[in-house]
Chain A
Amino acid sequence: MYFVLVIIPSHYNHCTNRKCLSVCFFLQQRNLEGYVGFANLPNQVYRKSVKRGFEFTLMVVGESGLGKSTLINSLFLTDLYSKDYPGPSQRIKKTVQVEQSKVLIKEGGVQLTLTIVDTPGFGDAVDNSNCWQPVINYIDSKCEDFLNAESRVNRRSMPDNRVHCCLYFIAPSGHGLKPLDIEFMKRLHDKVNVIPLIAKADTLTPEECQLFKKQIMKEIQEHKIKIYEFPDTEDDEDNKLIRKIKEKMPLAVVGSNVVVEVNGKKVRGRQYPWGVAEVENGEHCDFTVLRNMLIRTHMQDLKDVTNNVHYENYRSKKLAAVTCNGVDTTKTKGQLTKSPLAQMEEERREHVMKMKKMEAEMEQVFEMKVKEKKQKLKDSEAELERRHEQMKRNLEAQYKELEEKRRVFEDEKANWEAQQKILEQQKLDASKTMEKNKKKGKIF
């Protein structure tokens, strides 16, 4: 008896803690007999990914003074923005800029190259129409860089600088979204994962916050804005948590660079005369939810959605534009499922067939015309022959006639000449007799 491993796919529980990734046998008594070893694959993947290191690009967008830099610092527990590296609100220029800063952070043996992209000047001008354009251009240019790197013949490392997530900061008015908010999210929701956040949430009471969130979600649905959605997992427990998070969207956050002491504990928070708003207190704001979701559980998924959905959208649009130049759009649907090279190959084949057909047609026409012409020639040749024959016959007839005439004439002449001869002879005889008679004296 040996251990059969073929299994019909079914629900399974997976151990997420790699330390307990031991191999579970179905029949415990058989040491090594049931063992193959590919259960170690996840470990191998883990090792390789740690060795490679990770990258993540996070974009923060919002008007100045909404606490973006503070939130980033709080999220990553580091002074990404500091006096030497001021946040976007301190760097406003005349037009909206899109700027990035890269930092390298390590934790538990894992290296993360974090790129923070911010947009100083966004929404701060008097006329903010098109202030999203530099942002869109930036995102597209990163996708284009990746596309070019991916399309090279010699591909080596392909650094991934695409924007994986965009945190959009909504001002805590308490009423609803502003037109700029709606416009921005509408334009970017199919280019990047958009996560809307209510900034400076410590200016809203819980009830106000609830109403505000409801209002915002209503408006988001009305305008058909697709914000980042948490994927369902196979685990029911996880799904419960996810549903809870979904109910809290958009997340209301508070950030702080300052550590204060509350009940003997040192916490990050904002010290007010009336109390301390704690950043990491779930009852005060949704900061922990954001951090857990963004960093601890869904960072990889954000990257995957960017790669599999947003980037692929960009790529297919870009390539369709290039390769379907001048081809009418009714044909392009079917062509999108082929690679451009295969498409060219097919076009070539089609063209060859078309040419063959054309050639055959032209050949046919040619042959027909030649036949016609030849036939004509034959006809006139035949005609010529016929006429020639006719004329010959005609001439021959005339000849015969002439010959006949000649013969008749000759006969007649001969006859007459014969006659004349006889007459002559008679005359001669007569004159001879007369002479004789004369001589004889008969003539007086």
Chain B
Amino acid sequence: MSSSDVARQPNNGVRPLSLAGHVGFDSLPDQLVNKSICQGFCFNILCIGETGIGKSTLMDTLFNTNFENFESSHFEPQVKLRAQTYDLHESNVRLRLTVVNTVGFGDQMNKQESYQPVVDYIDKQFESYLQEELKIKRSLHNYHDSRVHACLYFISPSGHSLKSLDLVTMKKLDSKVNIIPVIAKADTISKSELHKFKIKIMSELVSNGVQIYQFPLDDETVAKVNTTMNGHLPFAVVGSTEEVCIGNKMVKARQYPWGVVQVENENHCDFVKLREMLICVNMEDLREQTHTRHYELYRRCKLEEMGFKDTGPECKPVSLQQTYEAKRQEFLVELQKREDEMRQMFVQRVKEKESELKEAERELQSRFEQLKRLHADEKAALEEKKRLLEDDQSSFSKRRAAAQLLQAQSFTANGKKDKDRKK
């Protein structure tokens, strides 16, 4: 019977009730599992390590198959990533596995930018998921999840400590992906050296604040084994796809003159531990962590970068639609402003040019005026000269006329005289 001390409130308060028989919803997990099996699973592993450290061999060994592998040279100018997808099948479970390998990692002289292509790849997968999630018409349940679920970082078996490249790279990746460091080619380290090496590595990781993936302890069924395994990190692994006959069995192993290193022998290396932890026990947790922690962090940062907030200026909760609308308005206003600015600029330029040209025109005009004045002056001078000439001419003609008159007079007077004389 229900606990009647819970007041009847239509919208909150969950009442526990007991059942009078078998209802059948205990099949819910099975229904969920069946659906997952029908859909198939997908898992993406990223392997980071120097060229030749054994990444591809380990993948082949882990998944018991021969992935197409290319041997890379040591002379890659830049770190690249190569991703390959395979459809695997075990029992009734289909797994779409994507293995991403780094090519040329650790080969360059200057390794400062080595981590960048890796970070870019991981971010790109997050970005494409985010874009799909933000679409208006989306199909998330059909989406092929390419986000990196686990990152195996291959540590060189130097026996001493981590390289600075390792620390730098892992530090850059620890908030983006589940990092599982492994000691590669562990058959070159003796047991006692290995023990010291592991301790050194873990202490270096801790002192540098690198967060590696810890196997989860919240589920009682696996908490115990996970705790033990957490203590064996990082796993020292050996990979091999060749088989050697031991006793009457064929086992995966590496044959040396001094003995045979058996991959699946827990005394020889931690391969079985890695396989169990990575695949058998915690694969789903790795996927969940990637989705709920790393992806959410990426998404949050990305949205904040774009200016989205959960609360508006008055600290009231703001829905995404409101933010979109606000952003859109802002955006349109900005575009309009830019357009206006450009127009303004042009108007300004036109004005300037106009005044420039006007100035030139005025100058021309004044020159014209000046020349006109010059001309006028010269013309006036010319006129003056003309007038002078005319004056001279007229006074000369007057003189001439007067002289002629005088001459005429004197002529006639002389003529009279002569006449008189002649008389």
Chain A residues 357-394 with CB under 8 Å of chain B are 358-359, 362, 366, 370, 373-374, 377, 380-381, 384, 388, 391-392
CB of A330 within 8 Å of the partner chain: no
Beta-carbon contact of B310 and A154 below 8 Å:
yes
CB of B131 within 8 Å of the partner chain: yes
Beta-carbon contact of B90 and A109 below 8 Å:
no
User: Contacts A102-B15, A151-B320, A377-B364; is A42 near B389 (CB within 8 Å)?
Assistant: no
User: Contacts A2-B64, A384-B371; is A82 near B2 (CB within 8 Å)?
Assistant: yes
Q: Place the interface of chain A in its size category.
A: 35 or more
Shortest distance from the beta carbon of A308 to any chain B beta carbon, whole Å: 5
Q: How far is the CA of A300 from the CA of B298 in the complex (A)?
A: 30
Among A6, A46, A291, A366, which residue has its beta carbon within 8 angstroms of that of B65?
A: A6
CB of A331 within 8 Å of the partner chain: no
Summed over the interface, the residue pairs from A and B with CB atoms below 8 Å come to a total of: 348
Beta-carbon contact of B41 and A4 below 8 Å:
no
In the complex, chain B residues whose CB is within 8 Å of the CB of A244: none
Q: How far is the CA of A1 from the CA of B242 in the complex (A)?
A: 8
In the complex, chain B residues whose CB is within 8 Å of the CB of A301: 31, 35
Among A6, A102, A322, which residue has its beta carbon within 8 angstroms of that of B13?
A: A102
In the complex, chain B residues whose CB is within 8 Å of the CB of A341: 134, 306
User: Contacts A84-B4, A107-B19; is A42 near B275 (CB within 8 Å)?
Assistant: no
Q: How far is the CA of A54 from the CA of B219 in the complex (A)?
A: 17
Mark A1-45 against chain B: 1 for CB-CB distance below 8 A, else 0. Answer: 111111101001111111001111000001011111111111011
Beta-carbon contact of A112 and B87 below 8 Å:
no
Chain A residues 87-135 with CB under 8 Å of chain B are 99-110, 112-113
Beta-carbon contact of B135 and A409 below 8 Å:
no
Q: How far is the CA of A282 from the CA of B253 in the complex (A)?
A: 61
In the complex, chain A residues whose CB is within 8 Å of the CB of B304: 153
In the complex, chain B residues whose CB is within 8 Å of the CB of A374: 357
In the complex, chain A residues whose CB is within 8 Å of the CB of B410: 427
In the complex, chain A residues whose CB is within 8 Å of the CB of B29: 46, 49-50, 110
Chain A residues 297-349 with CB under 8 Å of chain B are 297-301, 304, 307-308, 312, 315-316, 318-320, 322-323, 325, 335-342, 344, 347-348
Shortest distance from the beta carbon of A369 to any chain B beta carbon, whole Å: 8
Question: What 8 A-B pairs come out closest when comparing CB atoms?
Answer: A151-B320, A108-B26, A339-B134, A37-B280, A44-B284, A7-B89, A300-B31, A296-B24
Query: What are 25 A-B contacts with C-beta separation under 8 Å?
Result: A6-B87, A6-B89, A38-B280, A41-B41, A45-B32, A46-B29, A46-B32, A47-B219, A56-B25, A77-B21, A78-B20, A79-B2, A84-B2, A105-B17, A291-B24, A296-B27, A308-B140, A315-B136, A318-B321, A325-B325, A339-B131, A340-B328, A358-B339, A358-B342, A395-B382
